[in-house]
């Protein structure tokens, strides 16, 4: 998920809306017992705030898994809000920052982190599922 941001980097305060669809395999989204077979869609606004890129929007996708109790197959849709700052690579940045370099930004890390943080440890087909 690579984006050209030359246009908004030209001036602080600039922003643009984006919509990107990516194959989950390209993003390397991997979680136990979850099969990602549908596109990952990112709809967001990118803004340049004094050369910090603010990414604000939403990621949507779906994955196949199964109930932890009865093993019934389940399709889970997820929709995750994203609101992150992406900083220019520099010696003084924090190590855990999302970064960009030059005139482009790779959003793979921020998007896959958002998805993986949203996946529950186990899935149930219904709250009171019993075998
Ligand atoms: Zn169940």
Ligand 1 center from residue 71 Cα (angstroms): 6
Question: For 67-93, what is each residue's pLDDT tens digit?
Answer: 999 999 999 999 999 999 999 999 988
Q: Token pair for residue 66?
A: 């199964």
Scanning 1-131, the segments in alpha helix (DSSP H) are 6-9, 24-27, 108-118
Question: For 84-126, what is each residue's pLDDT tens digit?
Answer: 999 999 998 888 899 999 999 999 999 999 999 999 989 999 9
Query: Where along the chain do its domains lie?
Result: 2-118
pTM of the model: 0.89
Ligand 1 center from residue 25 Cα (angstroms): 28
| Residue of 111, 124, 108 lying closest to 71 (CA atoms) | 124
Ligand 1 center from residue 69 Cα (angstroms): 5
H or E stretch at 88: strand 73-88
Ligand 1 center from residue 118 Cα (angstroms): 20
Ligand 1 center from residue 123 Cα (angstroms): 8
């Amino acid at each position: 998920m690579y984006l050209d941001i030359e246009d908004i980097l030209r001036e602080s305060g600039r922003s643009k809306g984006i919509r990107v669809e990516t194959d989950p395999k390209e993003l390397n989204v991997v979680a136990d017992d979850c099969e990602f077979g549908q596109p990952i869609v990112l709809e967001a606004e990118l803004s340049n705030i004094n050369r910090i890129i603010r990414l604000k929007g939403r990621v949507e996708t779906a994955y196949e898994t199964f109930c932890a109790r009865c093993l019934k197959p389940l399709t889970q849709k997820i929709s995750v809000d994203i609101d992150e700052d992406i900083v220019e690579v520099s010696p003084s940045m924090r190590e855990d920052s999302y970064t960009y370099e030059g005139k482009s930004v790779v959003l793979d890390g921020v998007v896959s982190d958002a998805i993986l943080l949203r996946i529950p440890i186990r899935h149930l087909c219904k709250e009171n599922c019993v075998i």
